[in-house]
Amino acid sequence: MDQVKIGIIGVGNMGSAHVVSIGQLANAKLTALCDINPEKLKRYDPEKIQLFTDTKTFFKKADVDAVIVATPHYFHVPLAIEALKNKKHVITEKPISVHKALAEELVKAAKKYPKLKLAAMFNQRTLPAHKKIKELIDSGELGEIRRVNWIITDWFRSQAYYDSGDWRASWRGEGGGVLLNQCPHQLDLMQWFFGMPEKVTARVFFGKYHDIEVEDEVSAILEYPDGRTGMFVTSTGEAPGTNRLEIAAERGRLVLENGRLSFIRNEIPMSEFCRTTKSTMSLPDRWNIDIPVNGANPTMHRDIIENFADAILHGAPLYAPATEGINSLELGNAMLLSQLKGAPVSLPLNAGE
């Protein structure tokens, strides 16, 4: 086999984008589509692609090796598990679930099918700047991390966006707002870069900027086992918004903003300088370094699918295993729970709560 035959369940905004991505790949081929709305399928040629309007028939008759689940959130886990039961590899869109308890069901199911690949569409792991940050952290170049601050408020959405589908911005349909729809990417990167905190304290505002019932502004404090602290701020109600990640570490300060990655590097680690200097207010000598990155990655969704197919065909490591998706989901759940309880919450969360 030199191509993976892929079917997509859910042909909305993201599902139709994945159709285009697969068409650009040498190691994958689109063979089937499924959507409960027949109108979504009219643009596709049934002579070239199998078309289905119910998942039971899809899983019974579709000629596929793998499935991409691109439905509303609550269906991600049930459909991914059904795909695994039918011996199909799976990519699930983000978030992998709405709440931790359901995500645990997917993690448990995945263990029963160790030969099947299960990935998540955390495409921002493929951005050059994010890959470079991960490399700098893992190599030890930054030294011990002391504080993290991520302001990610450039997810602006209009009221028309929320009115475009009755499932959007509702507890019953989407299961949440900015934490469940836009910010799973940054929440995934937070845990990918820095690991999981042990305590989360958050203020979450519901329908602050829009006529919706779910959250559209969040400010959270994260406390880590080694003493690090983090701030995470997000909103879909700011224009223009900000996307600034700041990492304060022993070796200096790393900042990603406006596509530029800059590092002010201390000649002496800051704790060592603090202990040994005779000066009362001076700073360590330092270098200002612009770290080259290749800019945006317009093919990032395609890259996840290409890597997924390569993992199936050749055993390549997955860029974004879906079982890691429970971590970002738990961060978002913890922020909501902290607001609802009016108190800090400890991690790992009790899934039942």
CA separation for the pair 1, 285 (Å, rounded): 57
Computed over every residue of the chain, the mean pLDDT equals: 96
DSSP 112: H
Residue 29 β-bridge partners:
5
Percent of the chain topping pLDDT 90 = 95
Percent of the chain topping pLDDT 70 = 100
The residue ranges of DSSP E strands in 49-130, in sequence order, are 50-52, 66-69, 89-92, 118-120
Supply the pLDDT for residue 167: 83
**Of 1-5, 228-232, 294-298, 328-332, where does mean pLDDT reach its minimum?**
294-298
Residue 94 has pLDDT above 90, yes or no: yes
Per-residue confidence band for 348, with pLDDT thresholds at 50, 70 and 90: very high
pTM, rounded to two decimals: 0.94
Backbone angles phi, psi at 156, to 5 degrees: -55, 135
Question: What are the CA-CA distances from residue 23 to residues 2, 27, 40 (Å)?
Answer: 15, 10, 18
Per-residue confidence band for 24, with pLDDT thresholds at 50, 70 and 90: very high
* Average pLDDT rounded to a whole number, residues 79-95: 97
Q: What is the pLDDT of residues 284-323, one digit of tens each?
A: 999 999 999 876 778 999 999 999 999 999 999 999 999 9
**Tokens at residue 160, please?**
């028309």
Residue 146 has pLDDT above 90, yes or no: yes
**Of 46-55, 123-132, 166-175, 180-189, where does mean pLDDT reach its minimum?**
166-175
Supply the pLDDT for residue 263: 98
Q: What is the pLDDT of residues 158-205, one digit of tens each?
A: 999 999 888 889 999 899 999 999 999 999 999 999 999 999 999 999
Supply the pLDDT for residue 43: 95
Per-residue confidence band for 147, with pLDDT thresholds at 50, 70 and 90: very high
Supply the pLDDT for residue 1: 80
Task: Report the candidate in 277, 270, 181 with the shortest Cα–Cα distance to residue 234.
Answer: 181
Supply the pLDDT for residue 298: 83
Residue 7 has pLDDT above 80, yes or no: yes
Supply the pLDDT for residue 294: 78
